[in-house]
Structure 1
Amino acid sequence: MSRDGDYGRRDVLRAGGIVLGGSLVSGSATAAEGDGSTTLTLLSYNDIQTAAAEDKDFSRLVTLIEEQRAAADGPVVVVGGGDQVGPHALSPISQWRAPVEVLNEVEPDADVIGNHEFDYGLDAISDVTAHSEFPWLATNLVDDETGGAFDGTESTRIVERGGVRVGLIGLLDEGATFGKTNIAFDEEGLTVEDYTETGPAEASRLKTEEDVDIVIALAHTGVPDAEVLAEADTDDAIDVIVVGDDEIVYPPAETSGTIVTEAEARANYLGKLELTVGDDGLTSWQGDLIEVTEDVEKDPTASQIINDYRAEVSLDSPVVETETELDARFSSNYHRETGYGNLITDAMRERVDADVAITNAGGIRSNAVYGPGEITGGDIFNTLPFPNTVVTLELTGEELIETLESQVITLESETGQSFGEEISQQTSGLRFEWVPHEDADELVRDVYVGGEPLDPDETYAVAVNSYIANGGSGYLIEDKVIEDTGELQATTVVKYLEERETIAPEPEGHMQRVDRDLPDASVTVDGNGKVVTQFDAPEDVDSVADETVAVWTPDGEHLDAEQVVFDEDDETLVVRVDDGDLAETVDDADDGDGVALDLYAEYESSEFEQIYFERSRLNADVAATVRRRGRGRAGPPGR
């Protein structure tokens, strides 16, 4: 269920408060003072990713770890939750080297292999492990021939601090491997074992055979799956789960007697747990997440490492001025069309002269907003840090629809129940509706390419990144590549921007969410008076948000309704628009032409409980007949 595209995914707060603590609920008593117990401090971080290319929070995190080490009254263990070596803007220059060199300064006791450790391919893992002065764990990702660790990773690690033996294991789930990498693990002789079975079993072995006092699982699974792991650990062998992958703020909290915590991502937080360990193991704890702020000084060695790599490329050079925000947040790009998504895909489409361009939401990183104002090359590489190139495919109209549908997350799905309904991609050259429900006849419908209705049998040139072309993020594309430019996606966008002095990208109605349909309607547009249409509303409509009701044209122009009246008793919706304004939105149409319009309206639903969106959304197809001569009246209400 964890998603980051990598769907890192999200601006979600899953546990209230920042300072938590208590005695474990697995039957142990709180340790008393003077009983010989030891307080072990556990420091943790995860998903460094894009922060590795900036001399900002990563350098401060190094300092904060050293400060906490020095301030601790007892022994200290430092661990990571995976996804440290990618993606980041220095990937084309340093690949995994910059983050590894900085982490070597931290001297962690262990980290776990996450999906982004595979960003540079499977063979590069052995380079990562060889150059790391700390172990990488992969307890449940095993070599089929040996049954043990692969490419320099370790299955387990035991650390002894202040008389406390700490067992460390590293786990990842299929959601952090398949779909987020293009590696066929089975073909490479690797097996991803069930982390809910391997994890508890290995933790029990460490306690019974290796005499460890506590076991810490580094789990690149996301918090929900980490909680499943805690519940599956019926012997209470795992004491702490340090989580990575879904990139959320999750202060330490107990699940089934196990402490679960995650420090968001991008060096924004440092996790801290003080664990009281006695003769019977872990007895009590207290913990928090420490925010990495500008008040923390940068570690000079970490700063030098990062800045030396930055000096090799022009990451700090301005490339354009933007009048609107460039929204690179995960939540935005997974759920809806963004202006920045349009800019990226417009650049890709122009680069190869394609009909359509598509990019995966998880490929847009940094989870930040840039502008309005000056945009640098580094900003673009921060948001598009993967070594993906721009590729052209040939798809039929039918295949294009299947490709778009592969990214729709329905509200009723497991992921939808966690994060809400999602479209999970950004597009250019397209306009379509997506219906995110399991009972929908079509997940994607009413598709227009270049303003014309899609022809299922026509062949279209589609620009994508190489990750998508190789089947990443679950895209159903195989053997369709006709050209690979060899140019990084980020470079394509930078070149596109360098040709412009200013930009102002905005959403243009490329991807329209629809939860329920209104009846079709027919109207006449002659530029005089008002157009009034009445609809029978679906049964689940409790109220309609007047300010959201608008009429859209096939080319993305829209007109807000003048008046909206919803009658709850009669279950009718009446919408009025100005005929003159409507005529201007279809000014390309000649007298007698028919124009396919769409009406959209947000509403409170008695059936759908939205997770991300504020309200559900209605749609009506409106057939408009244009009359340029004489004066007429709107046609009868549609049914």
Structure 2
Amino acid sequence: DRCRVTILHFNDVYNIEERPNTEPVGGAARFATAMGKYRDQNPLVFFSGDCLNPSMMSSITKGKQMVPILNSLKVKAAVYGNHDFDFGVDELEDVTMETKFPWLMSNVIDTLTDKPLADGLEKTVITWGTKKIGLIGLVEEEWLVTLATVDKDDLKYLDYVEEGRRLAKELKEEGVDLVIALTHMRWPNDVRLAEQVEEIDLILGGHDHDYDVKKVNGKYIVKSGTEFRNFTKVEVDFIGPKYEISTMKIEVTSAYREDVEMKKIVEEFTSLMSDKTATTLGRIESELDGRFATVRTQESALGNFLTDVMVAATQADLAILNSGTLRSDSVHSAGDFTIKDLLTILPLIDPLVVLEATGTQIIQALENGVSQYPKTEGRFPQVSGIMFGFDPEGPPGSRVDPNSVKVDGEYLVPEKVYRVCTKAYIARGKDGYDVFKDCKPLTDPDEGPILSTVIQNHFTAVDIVKGLKPCRSGHHQSLIHVASVAK
């Protein structure tokens, strides 16, 4: 009656290359070698979400590099993470159809299909040796509002405690020996799940990137780090109807050699990046001036375009983007707009956040943005949903005319609260935007869409609306009005 089941767990992986000179170096090739050490134990490999974005490579491949990597690691089941939806439901379903394991989504229903979102499974059972392992996939409501490619009104969210309890009971009634919840949510929610659902035996979580293991209400909650730098070996020793669980942290250091086959996969996609930069995302009807002398001193068509997309993607009232974000320092001609153009303009991974800010705080932010004019400083604001005027001869901090400021065509009300979309960098008070540190965040920067990704999704949505690209799921990013791109 004695039996041991070995589980290898990881979560939140974005870059398949290692990070040199910083231990643990990680990287998919060394990760494969580290996991391979336990191949003789016939392990079950589980993944707790977030792999398709964000990374520079994913901005070109839309996460497709992860298919052969996850398949090679012999993953047996996974739960969706928020960033797996970054390129849209159709793209996600295309990718997951190529994986050799099921993806779970137990507590979010797509009301357009009346099925779990992205065709996920509600639950699954794996027979491993003499034991039956039941799995469910649970996510938190907080990150659903950050999905730029899915309208929250098209989703039905079910409380993870209630659904977790219901599904775990069903699995127990079906005779499983162990119920595992694969989750993608923050620690407090995993703790609540452990405290309130007795029927779940083990929680393997994601979303948090720091490695940690806690025992709550007699059951383990495991978070296995990030970026192929860590994973957890979980041993479940069955003794008759009972079991004991132990965990071990594995760090993927440079001491592990690179797996030859996995290294070939990494090199193939690294090479593909240079070939794919010429791919056309869409067409632009007028030139986009990204020269520093333009975007750091005045309104620009490029700034208007980017911030208009930010507003549409996040359903904010307005957007404020520091012009230092735009890095091309060149004019992009009308015509085909390529991945190379996008990455030249936006080379960094810039998460977007939505803040609550009063009219007074917004004016303070604008004052900071124009305080260094006419210097070509990166704090100069590119905006959408708001118009304002400023006196360049006025003293810094008193240049914006409050009577000139309008949001969506209406004069700004100092005490009114507005939804402001900006970069996480600016929300932390960088580039002189100290006022934003006092604003209530409505979204978490770890959960929010990536600026370069929402620009790609804009072009995809245009093709869908024009009938140039099919949309099986019915979901796509909200569009800006074409006339608002160039003002």
TM-score by length of 1: 0.47
Equivalent residue, structure 1, for 2:246: 286
Equivalent residue, structure 1, for 2:400: 454
1:30-73 residue CA offsets vs partner (Å, 9 max, x unmatched): xxxxxx22121111000002346989522221222221223x3x
1:179 corresponds, among 146, 155, 158, to: 146
Change (3 A) 1:256 1:91: same
Q: C-alpha distance in 2, partners of 1:514/1:150?
A: 35
Query: Equivalent residue of 2:256, what SS?
Result: coil
Aligned length: 345
**Counterpart amino acid of 1:61?**
F
**Counterpart amino acid of 2:9?**
S
Q: C-alpha distance in 1, partners of 2:34/2:297?
A: 40
**Counterpart amino acid of 1:224?**
P
Aligned-residue CA RMSD in angstroms?
Answer: 4.3
Mapping for residues 314-353 of structure 1, pairs under 5 Å? 314=274, 352=302
Query: Equivalent residue of 2:137, what SS?
Result: strand
Equivalent residue, structure 2, for 1:428: 379
**Counterpart amino acid of 2:11?**
N
Q: C-alpha distance in 2, partners of 1:123/1:249?
A: 32
**Counterpart amino acid of 2:97?**
A
2:434 corresponds, among 475, 492, 511, to: 511
Structure that is richer in strand per residue: 1
Contact 2:14 2:53 (C-alpha < 8 Å) held by counterparts: yes
Mapping for residues 104-119 of structure 1, pairs under 5 Å? 104-119=71-86
Contact 1:88 1:385 (C-alpha < 8 Å) held by counterparts: no
Find out whether 1:300 has 2:260 as its counterpart.
yes
1:60 corresponds, among 16, 30, 38, to: 30
**Cα distance, 1:117 vs structure 2:** 1.0
Query: Equivalent residue of 2:156, what SS?
Result: strand
Q: C-alpha distance in 1, partners of 2:11/2:29?
A: 15
Change (3 A) 1:379 1:179: same
Q: C-alpha distance in 1, partners of 2:50/2:345?
A: 20
**Cα distance, 1:267 vs structure 2:** 1.3
2:57 corresponds, among 72, 90, 93, to: 90
Mapping for residues 118-517 of structure 1, pairs under 5 Å? 118-144=85-111, 148-187=115-154, 190-208=155-173, 210-233=174-197, 236-250=198-212, 252-281=213-242, 283-314=243-274, 352=302, 357-358=320-321, 383-384=348-349, 398=359, 401=362, 428-429=379-380, 451=396, 452-459=398-405, 476=419, 509-511=432-434
Change (3 A) 1:249 1:402: farther
Change (3 A) 1:77 1:458: same
Change (3 A) 1:152 1:66: farther
Change (3 A) 1:475 1:305: farther
Q: C-alpha distance in 2, partners of 1:475/1:167?
A: 45
**Cα distance, 1:218 vs structure 2:** 0.5
Deviates more, 1:39-48 or 1:299-308: 299-308
Change (3 A) 1:45 1:174: same
**Cα distance, 1:398 vs structure 2:** 3.8
Query: Equivalent residue of 2:54, what SS?
Result: coil
**Counterpart amino acid of 2:33?**
T
**Cα distance, 1:507 vs structure 2:** 6.2
Structure that is richer in helix per residue: 2
**Counterpart amino acid of 1:39?**
R
Any gaps of 5 or more consecutive residues in structure 1?
Answer: 1-35, 316-344, 360-376, 389-395, 406-426, 431-447, 462-473, 479-488, 490-505, 516-639
Contact 2:364 2:435 (C-alpha < 8 Å) held by counterparts: no
**Cα distance, 1:77 vs structure 2:** 1.1
TM-score by length of 2: 0.61
**Counterpart amino acid of 2:273?**
V
Any gaps of 5 or more consecutive residues in structure 2?
Answer: 21-25, 276-294, 308-318, 323-341, 367-377, 382-389, 408-416, 424-428, 439-487
Q: C-alpha distance in 1, partners of 2:54/2:406?
A: 31
**Cα distance, 1:193 vs structure 2:** 1.1
Q: C-alpha distance in 2, partners of 1:276/1:64?
A: 22
1:389-414 residue CA offsets vs partner (Å, 9 max, x unmatched): xxxxxxx9949829979xxxxxxxxx
**Cα distance, 1:96 vs structure 2:** 2.1
Q: C-alpha distance in 2, partners of 1:512/1:99?
A: 39
**Counterpart amino acid of 2:271?**
A
Change (3 A) 1:397 1:227: closer
Change (3 A) 1:399 1:352: farther
**Counterpart amino acid of 1:308?**
E
**Counterpart amino acid of 2:130?**
G
Contact 1:78 1:110 (C-alpha < 8 Å) held by counterparts: yes
1:524-546 residue CA offsets vs partner (Å, 9 max, x unmatched): xxxxxxxxxxxxxxxxxxxxxxx
Query: Equivalent residue of 1:199, what SS?
Result: helix
Q: C-alpha distance in 2, partners of 1:203/1:92?
A: 37
Find out whether 1:47 has 2:17 as its counterpart.
no
Q: C-alpha distance in 2, partners of 1:348/1:123?
A: 38
Q: C-alpha distance in 2, partners of 1:475/1:158?
A: 47
Contact 1:118 1:125 (C-alpha < 8 Å) held by counterparts: yes
**Cα distance, 1:134 vs structure 2:** 1.0
Contact 1:82 1:220 (C-alpha < 8 Å) held by counterparts: yes
Higher normalized contact order (CA 8 Å, seq sep 6+, divided by chain length): 2
Q: C-alpha distance in 2, partners of 1:149/1:112?
A: 12
**Counterpart amino acid of 1:290?**
I
Change (3 A) 1:277 1:311: same
1:208-227 residue CA offsets vs partner (Å, 9 max, x unmatched): 1x210001110001222101
Q: C-alpha distance in 2, partners of 1:138/1:42?
A: 20
Change (3 A) 1:53 1:295: closer
Find out whether 1:69 has 2:39 as its counterpart.
yes
Change (3 A) 1:144 1:314: closer
**Counterpart amino acid of 1:99?**
M
**Cα distance, 1:120 vs structure 2:** 0.7
**Cα distance, 1:108 vs structure 2:** 0.7
**Cα distance, 1:457 vs structure 2:** 3.8
Contact 1:397 1:459 (C-alpha < 8 Å) held by counterparts: no
Change (3 A) 1:265 1:238: same
Q: C-alpha distance in 1, partners of 2:156/2:185?
A: 16
Contact 2:379 2:431 (C-alpha < 8 Å) held by counterparts: no
**Counterpart amino acid of 1:284?**
E
**Cα distance, 1:93 vs structure 2:** 2.3
Equivalent residue, structure 2, for 1:466: none
